[in-house]
Structure 1
Amino acid sequence: MKEVWNMRSLMIGTGVGLILGATAVGLSAIAAPQSAPPPSDPRTVTYQQLELFAEILARARQDYVTEIDEPEAMEAAINGMLTSLDPHSGYLNADDFKSMQVQTSGEYGGLGIEVTMEDGFVKVISPMDDTPASRAGIQPGDLITAINGQPIIGKTLNDAVKEMRGEQGTQIDITVLREGVDPFDVTLTREVIEQKSVTWELDEDDIGYIRISTFNERTTPLLEAAVNGISEETGGRPRGIVIDLRNNGGGLLDQAVSVSDMFLSGGEVVSTQGRRAADMESYMAHNGEVFKGVPMIVLINGGSASASEIVAGALQDRRRATIVGTTSFGKGSVQTVIPLGADRGALRLTTARYYTPSGHSIQALGIEPDVSISPARLTEEELAKIKRFSEADLPHALQNEEGAERRALQMPDEQPPEGYEGKDFQLERAKQMLKDGAITASNGLKRAG
């Protein structure tokens, strides 16, 4: 995402001069006729706009300096329309649609990052565990500005993602822009990303740790295996459970529901509401929760989005778990992928908002932890300099329909002590809270009074 800014400025300056001269002549020629009153029927306006689009395409075909790629131009126009609605809607051509299907199946070739588009750059939502991106130190909020020295500005998100994917063993250079750091290049070697979306371990105090890195088609079966493994080693009764959803950028709705279901006995997990009756649905848990009566903590951070927030919100609202960490990303919308048939790709369209069991929408707000714990020590001055990265900050993001706004960054309840040399303060504190009995299974956090 690097650009030769001097050359770009020169070209823009020259171009603007030419355009302004031509426009001035054009305007003087058309200024005399009086404009017709605007039509009142919205459908008439739409038809007129479609006619305008056809005229512009014809003009570009006829008069542009070189022959244009009309299918590519049309695809860009479609994507422009959809991305103007919200940051998660878009068009997937046939190749992109197949790639998406491969990704949700849990295995594909690439770097291992969840991304979105912002200001013409690719913005990292979260790196996936044990992938080239995570091992290279790519962080949530990083901007990828160029791929193999070629600027990303002007490309669609799908185009950029396509360039980052490739055959196993091939190398790719990306330019990273990170707040407070000079732009730097990172060379990565593509791998087959086999998203083992759930891993687990048990410590010497019988605290079970379950890491869920994404929600793909393998997540629920792998979680069941993790639960069985912990149960076998503890006789079905661990001292506590930590579910780690940090930097989990989301995934499939049905997997978020089934994961939540495992830790609940009946009742609502999440509901969705859209414009149509078909988009309004309530998803319920079945009886038979695992680890019933065992205290549980869910870890979240700003990279926890979408499906992760459904799980955290369900377990928080149902008082099944205490949420620890930092406020989540705040993506409270549901996208439907609509195949268009005949190798025409698919439409990814935001069709509904989702609500936690209490009826709360987290769109643009995020899930706020019961106990806020920073992964690194902060001063008030450092906190004031942090640039917030959340759904609310994305271009064209849906507003929270209740008019609520995301809370400003605040000093956490806890942060690492001076001179802390551990690897993961949030996880360490979560385990210690379970060992100290500060968390109960039925009421969550024990609070004074």
Structure 2
Amino acid sequence: MKYALPIMGTVAAVALFALSTASQQARADDQPSYSDTFEQLDLFADVMARVRSDYVVEVEDGELIEDAINGMLQALDPHSSYVNPESFRDLQVQTSGRYVGVGMEVTQEDGYVKVVAPIDGSPAAEAGIKSGDYITEIDGVTVLGLSLTEAVNTIRGEAGESVTLTIARIDEEPRDVTLVRREVNREVVSHEIKDGIPYIRISQFNEKAASGLESAIEELRAAMDGDLPGLVLDLRTNPGGLLDQSIKVSSVFLDGGEVVSTRGRDGVDIESYEAEAGQLLEDVPLVVLIDEASASASEIVAGAVQDRGRGLVVGMTSFGKGSVQSLIPLRGGRDGALRLTTQRYYTPAGRSIQGTGIDPDLYISAIPDDGEDHTRLSESDLPNYIENENGDSETDEIDIAIDYPDAEFDVQDDYQLQRAIEIIKSGNYQQRLAELQN
């Protein structure tokens, strides 16, 4: 059973709630573990009453309670939060693939807003905003002191309106970037033939991801007279999205069998998700590209391909978001919703990648080795992240052989993609795959 604190208009209502809990306590003497909870609820009511009566400026009760709920949830982990009714409606629109904004997935770190990944084709991506950038000011006002929800709501606005973000990047001077909000139509799947090899990019796992992938495959087949010599699936900077879409995307490459399993508290509430029978690309060589910004559903697909021996995973260790959030509407959505971390997910081999990420089969860097640390944001960098119950990744304790481009290489030429294409065209794909499976 789930319980929710209603958003109340007056402190008297909160006090009444606290009194009602006292009567519940009298009926629950056989459950002494509840007594501390009821005392803390009384404490909450006392604190709120004092703030309401004595704080230097007048405050809104609803805002206080919403902030208190968010404070409680964000102290649990970086992905649990309260979604107010307006944001809940926006969220439902976003998963369908269309919304008005500047197009970024963000989190919060040290009081600042940090970019997880810009969305392909969005104003943010077109302005050159990158994963790992910090947003320190919005329209000249510092973000310090704002919750993540407040900051995101400030960045949002009506189509055609502009917002100026101050962007801070390591080893660079802060700069102002003015973005014009517009409808972001997340056509999340793009495809082309690169140097004779089919290439498909999925930028996010919204409701259109699986159907877009299937359409892209059919168009590539038509362009190549039905015969695909291989496929590069690009999941770099893909922040994830819907769990069911990761299952459907995996089904394109797997002929049944487990894709991912989820487990709740204490290992109970276990669910296993399997691919549909009848893969679309049987025996077609597959290389999956990932990087440090590939997260969540991207990691589910990469992990399933890797554990099932279906293809080679190439790039750099992924973000490491191995938790599942349930969106729980409150009073049918009238009071918004609760985004709560309820499960961890595990690859077909039983691996939890929470905080550690998917390690690629072949480490290939996008940039030359200049001796500097270019490690980007990962799950384990977020405040209050849930630790991996199996400890740190084994690769943290060994030397990793990384394939770097030459120092004079132009990063715009995409070394990781070039190497992925070479792997398929070299004829050594099956040999490399077999070596990794042994």
TM normalised by structure 2 equals: 0.88
Match 1:390 to one of 364, 378, 385? 378
Structure 1: gaps spanning 5 or more residues:
1-39
Contact residue 295 and residue 444 of structure 1 kept, 8 A: no
Deviation at 1:308, TM superposition (A): 0.3
Contact residue 102 and residue 108 of structure 1 kept, 8 A: yes
What is the aligned partner in structure 2 of residue 135 from structure 1? 126
2:171 matched to 1:180?
yes
Deviation at 1:117, TM superposition (A): 1.3
DSSP 3-state at the match of 1:74:
helix
- Evaluate the alpha carbon distance shift between residue 365 and residue 168 of structure 1 in structure 2; reply closer, same or farther with a 3 A threshold: same
Contact residue 273 and residue 353 of structure 1 kept, 8 A: yes
For residue 103 of structure 2, what is the amino acid of its counterpart?
G
What is the aligned partner in structure 1 of residue 391 from structure 2? 403
For residue 378 of structure 1, what is the amino acid of its counterpart?
D
2:421 matched to 1:431?
yes
Deviation at 1:275, TM superposition (A): 2.5
For 1:394 and 1:243, the matched residues in 2 are separated by 28
2:96 matched to 1:105?
yes
For 1:405 and 1:351, the matched residues in 2 are separated by 23
What is the aligned partner in structure 2 of residue 288 from structure 1? 278
2:326 matched to 1:336?
yes
For 1:312 and 1:296, the matched residues in 2 are separated by 11
Query: Can you list the C-alpha shifts for 1:236-267, whole angstroms capped at 9, x where unaligned?
Result: 32111000000000000000110001110011
For 2:434 and 2:414, the matched residues in 1 are separated by 21
Higher mean C-alpha displacement, 180-189 vs 97-106: 180-189
Contact residue 175 and residue 183 of structure 1 kept, 8 A: yes
For residue 158 of structure 2, what is the amino acid of its counterpart?
E
Contact residue 365 and residue 407 of structure 1 kept, 8 A: no
For residue 157 of structure 2, what is the amino acid of its counterpart?
G
Higher mean C-alpha displacement, 272-281 vs 194-203: 272-281
Contact residue 141 and residue 178 of structure 1 kept, 8 A: yes
DSSP 3-state at the match of 1:313:
helix
Higher mean C-alpha displacement, 212-221 vs 183-192: 183-192
For 1:298 and 1:405, the matched residues in 2 are separated by 20
What is the aligned partner in structure 1 of residue 22 from structure 2? none
Query: Taking every aligned residue pair, what percent have the same amino acid on both sides?
Result: 48
Deviation at 1:404, TM superposition (A): 2.5
DSSP 3-state at the match of 2:402:
coil
What is the aligned partner in structure 1 of residue 202 from structure 2? 212
For 2:228 and 2:96, the matched residues in 1 are separated by 31
Deviation at 1:60, TM superposition (A): 0.8
2:55 matched to 1:64?
yes
Match 1:161 to one of 143, 148, 152? 152
Give the alignment of 1:39-58 within 5 angstroms. 41-58=32-49
For 1:374 and 1:151, the matched residues in 2 are separated by 35
For residue 400 of structure 1, what is the amino acid of its counterpart?
N
Deviation at 1:357, TM superposition (A): 0.3
Structure 2: gaps spanning 5 or more residues:
1-30
- Evaluate the alpha carbon distance shift between residue 105 and residue 395 of structure 1 in structure 2; reply closer, same or farther with a 3 A threshold: same
What is the aligned partner in structure 2 of residue 370 from structure 1? 361
Deviation at 1:333, TM superposition (A): 0.2
Deviation at 1:407, TM superposition (A): 4.6
What is the aligned partner in structure 1 of residue 11 from structure 2? none
What is the aligned partner in structure 2 of residue 419 from structure 1? 408
Number of equivalenced pairs: 405
For 2:239 and 2:437, the matched residues in 1 are separated by 34
For 1:373 and 1:149, the matched residues in 2 are separated by 39
Query: Can you list the C-alpha shifts for 1:315-347, whole angstroms capped at 9, x where unaligned?
Result: 010011101111000000000000002510000
For 1:413 and 1:240, the matched residues in 2 are separated by 24
RMSD value over aligned CA atoms? 2.0
Deviation at 1:107, TM superposition (A): 0.3
What is the aligned partner in structure 1 of residue 264 from structure 2? 274
Deviation at 1:305, TM superposition (A): 0.3
DSSP 3-state at the match of 1:162:
helix
Contact residue 264 and residue 342 of structure 2 kept, 8 A: yes
Contact residue 264 and residue 270 of structure 2 kept, 8 A: yes
